[in-house]
Amino acid sequence: MSTVDLLAKIPNNVDLKGDKKLQRALEEWQPEYLKWWHETGPALHQDKDVWLRTAIDVTAEGWAQFDYVRTPDYRWGIFLADAVPDRKVQCGDHFGQPAWQEVPGEYRNMLRRIIVTQADTEPASVEQQRWLAQTAPSLMDMRNLFQVNVEEGRHLWAMVYLLHKYFGKDGREEADELLRRRAGDPDKPRILQAFNNPCNDWLSFYAFTMFMDRDGKFQLAALAESGFDPLSRTCRFMLTEEAHHLSVGETGVQRVVKRTAELMREHPGKDLRSYGGVPLDVIQKIINYWFTYSIDLFGGEISSNAADYFASGMKGRFREEAKETEHTGLDQGKVIPVVQDGKLVNREVPLRNAMNECLRDGYIQDCERALAIWNKELEKSGVEQRLTLPNRRFHRHVGEYANMFFDYEGNLVAKEAFDARKAAWFLTDDDLAYLRSIMKPCLEPGKVAGWVAPPLKGIGGKDMNFEYVRL
Ligand code: BYC
Ligand code: FE
Ligand code: FE
């Protein structure tokens, strides 16, 4: 079991005080981080007390503590899950050999790149969500937003620790760069495309935490299988925090669907815009947008990078150790539909090259599960329409299907045919203007905006009427 040092400048369970050089480097990075938080973190209420949980340990019981905290005073710490004794490499060419405790020289660049890419998404999401507190539909929602934000900040710390500890000078430079890029900045954008998209209304926030954080869940799970043990341990603990983000997203969309279904039942055949609700087609359009950008985050369907990550043992599949039976990925294939001579044909590719697609399969299945729950809300209210996920080829910007046009069902179509239906698939300017118009803050404890159902339950031992943010 590791020892937790909660009183240190940087709370940690990695014996930071036993490595003075590393401690000093991270303590120098800390004020830069805080500066970043002040400049690009939550635009509002950094001076207010928020009912937040803080990670203080890595044991299943009592890993977190709830208290009122101003977000800049949040105790961002470095916590690795306890080491598994005699842990082995879980996949690829080194399967079964002892896991690496230091960076294997031949995989150094690859590993740094994976860690930097993972790291970059964390501050990006905070930047994207910067203005949302302005229009929070309830105090509890605002609290959840800040909770997600501080924990994404901690995830950045988790990755920066690895960069500083294991990658020397270039690791420290990468850590500095992570505070310089900005979501949506044309000159110094965040690395992955979707982390530059705006997220300025609460339906998008729920969709973000549902779909984008869920990519986080799958990527972190794949990295938790890494043969580089410190990466595996840090990702395992990040996943503990991630569960809440996913629930904010999944239940958030569910609450909107529930309210919409109620309004549809009360006012059959009417435009919900007259009643301040979110029309079902607007919810569907938001799903289309965030789902398709999120599946881009898995990378190309056929990818030599993915093959290298797997072969080296740096990145496994979802639950590689627990669920897979064969761990080299050799002498197996996966069928991927590709476009050839203007037609979709099935191509069998070596399994290792299809690892991104394997991860995406699990992700899509998980999304389908959530869709079924949302559709239950419609069913319960006697509404006949259903929400759906588009085909995975629809509206893609990365991989085999980028720079081509597929309809909602995944059929190859001409650009004109796609463009003609855009307004039916994605928010129009009118939709967006309406959505913005109903995003009015609702800040009285226990009250919730009219376009969304109340949260299903309170949080951190408190009920709905609790003052989650002391404005
Ligand atoms: N946007 O072989 P390919 C989270 C690039 S979310 C822009 O197809 P690969 C969180 C790629 O870099 C989890 N560029 O893909 C969620 C490559 O460039 P080069 C984040 C992209 O490398 C919410 C080229 O295209 N974690 O934690 O196999 C809130 C061809 O690449 C994109 C990770 O992603 C894109 N979407 O896979 C907070 C895990 N996709 O070589 C946090 C670490 C690809 O031509 N990352 N490219 O210059 C990885 O494992 C891999 O980098 C990826 C891409 C799966 C992302
Ligand atoms: Fe995260
Ligand atoms: Fe998250």
Q: Is 255 helix (H, G, I), strand (E, B) or coil?
A: helix
Give distance in angstroms: CA of 54 to centre of ligand 3.
15
Q: Is the CB of 260 under 6 A from ligand 1?
A: no
Report which bound ligand comes closest to the CA of 304: 1
Question: Which amino acid does the sequence have at 270?
Answer: K
> Does 193 sit in the ligand 1 pocket, CB within 6 Å?
yes
Tokens of 282: 């607007």
CA 437 to chain centre: 27
Ligand 1 near 109 CB (within 6 A): no
- Ligand 3: distance of its center to the CA of 148 in Å? 6
The pLDDT, as a whole number, for residue 388 is: 98
Ligand nearest to the CA of 234: 2
Ligand 1 near 298 CB (within 6 A): yes
Judge contact between 71 and 37, C-beta under 8 A: yes
Q: Alpha helix locations (H) across 195-279?
A: 202-207, 213-224, 229-266
Q: How far apart are CA 243 and CA 155, in angstroms?
A: 13
Q: Which residues pair with 344 in a beta bridge?
A: 339
What is 16-470's CATH number? 1.10.620.20
3-state helix, strand, coil in the chain (%, to 5): 50, 10, 40
Cβ of 142 below 6 Å from ligand 1:
no
CA of 421 to the centre of ligand 2 (A): 34
Which CA distances in Å does 102 have to 166, 320, 451? Answer: 7, 22, 52
Q: Are strands 49-55 and 64-69 parallel, antiparallel or unpaired?
A: antiparallel
Q: Where are the domains of the chain?
A: 16-470
Query: Residue 67 forms beta bridges with which residues?
Result: 52
Element (H or E) spanning 455, and its range? none
DSSP 371: H
454 three-class SS: coil
Give the per-residue pLDDT at 456.
85
Q: Which atom of ligand 1 is nearest to the CA of 355?
A: 28
Residue 296 CB less than 6 A away from ligand 1: yes
Quick check: 235 and 226 in contact, CB under 8 A? Answer: yes
| DSSP string covering 262-285 | HHHHHSTTS-GGGGT---HHHHHH
Residues with CB under 5 A from ligand 2 (ion): 122, 152, 155
How many angstroms does the Cα of residue 192 sit away from the middle of ligand 1?
6
Instruction: Tell me if 10 sits within 8 A of 77, measured CB to CB.
Output: yes
pTM of the model: 0.98
Helix (H) or strand (E) holding 396: none
Q: Whose CA is nearest to atom 15 of ligand 1?
A: 299
Q: Is 121 in the pocket of ligand 1 (CB under 6 A)?
A: yes
User: What single-letter amino acid sits at 144?
Assistant: N
Average pLDDT of each block of 10 consecutive residues along the chain (471 residues)?
A: 90 97 98 98 98 90 91 98 97 98 98 98 98 98 98 98 98 98 98 97 98 98 98 97 97 98 97 98 98 98 98 98 98 98 97 98 98 98 98 98 98 98 98 98 97 94 96 95
Q: Quick check: CB of 212 below 6 Å from ligand 1?
A: yes
For residue 138, what are its two tokens?
A: 């309830």
Provide the pLDDT for residue 38: 98
103 lines ligand 1 (CB under 6 A): no
- Is the minimum distance from the CB of 398 to ligand 1 under 6 angstroms? yes
CA of 196 to the centre of ligand 3 (A): 16
Contacts of 374 (CB under 8 A, 6+ apart): 253, 254, 257, 387
| Ligand 1 pocket, residue 189 CB under 6 Å | no
Q: How many CB atoms lie within 10 A of CB 362?
A: 18
Residue of minimum CA distance from atom 33 in ligand 1: 118
Centre of ligand 1 to C-alpha 237, Å, is 21
* Alpha helices, DSSP H, located in 297-409: 304-312, 320-323, 355-380
Question: Given this model, what pLDDT does residue 2 score?
Answer: 79
